[in-house]
Structure 1
Amino acid sequence: MFPNWQLAGLSFAYIGLLFFIAYVGDKYRHKLLRKSQAIIYALTLGVYCTSWSFLGTPGQASNNFISHLPIYLGPILLFIFAWPFIQRIIRVSLKLNLTSIADLLAARFGKSHNLAILVTIVALIGTMPYIALQLKAIVYTFQQLQAEQSLANWHFGLVVSLVLAGFTIVFGVRNIDVTERHPG
């Protein structure tokens, strides 16, 4: 258990380290992309599996020992067997300068603006539980490391959400270009 001031200091130091890594990744992106593209993709798959490993999988495995396998097998099988399909989607996206799944589906079905709105809403609703699970994992970890609880869970969750939103704005969505990469 850490005193709250020490835990807050360690958290801010960690967040600062993440911002520094993202800054360096953006600054030297042209040198990093050639060398580390495979590592970046492997790390993103690791991030995908992390929150499910922390909160989702143990609960599922306690009810049914096979139910958690699709979470890990799905991405693995997709990248092994559906790689030509993924490459085709990438080629079409680059050719038509598409930046989201909503753009892709709208372009394939007559550039329908209403379809793009519907796909965006469905994607937003579909990703909300995953984002909530990530936030829950962060809040739960912070709670377990606290010596005494001074903030309510929703206060800390709000702070974490604002920091993550700031990080996304600063390093994620500044420019929207289909060929842009974010190695940081």
Structure 2
Amino acid sequence: MPVYPAGLHPARLGFDFDGVIADTAEAFLRIACEDYGLCGFRLEDITRFEVEHCLPIDSETVADIFRKILHDSVGTRLQPLPGALDVLTELAETAGVTVITARPLLHPVLDWFEQALPASAMAHVRVVAMGDHDDKARHILEQGLDCFIDDRAETCQQLHVAGIQPLVFNQPWNQNGHCFPVVTSWQDIRELFL
């Protein structure tokens, strides 16, 4: 059984966006099928963070699909993961929420949150788009956080080295290569604070 941070305060916890809050894998698979005719893949088939290394889709098409999602999260019908909006709304209204994404563009994430969350919660959500998977630790520390939930195991390893407690959000692409505590759902995240 993983050991979760004792006395974790929700104001000191940060969240990744894609793969933790937003169901980016679902959007990727749907767009691959609808726009490129690449159908029949399932979430379980995405066993690597670098999708082109586990699915028979060329890297240019993978980049095109992700570019669509990154530039227009609302227009691509990016969905939240189950329970994410309810828990984020609760946390925002009690402690505030900090989201740090490796995405290079801030506005598509803000647009998505503004459509997804009530205005009362959105007023307490801070989003940092930092544009680099390998530089998250610096931004997390700058925001005064000491615990972070991410779906990329390599990022969690970097956070651990920087003295930040990582929690891995369970996804098919992060099943191996780490020994960090795992959360499997937003209900697990809610229970961290009960």
Q: Same fold (TM over 0.5)?
A: no
Structure with the larger strand share: 2
Q: Which has the larger radius of gyration?
A: 1
Greater RCO, CA 8 A, separation 6+: 1
Normalised by the length of structure 1, the TM-score is 0.30
Structure with the larger helix share: 1
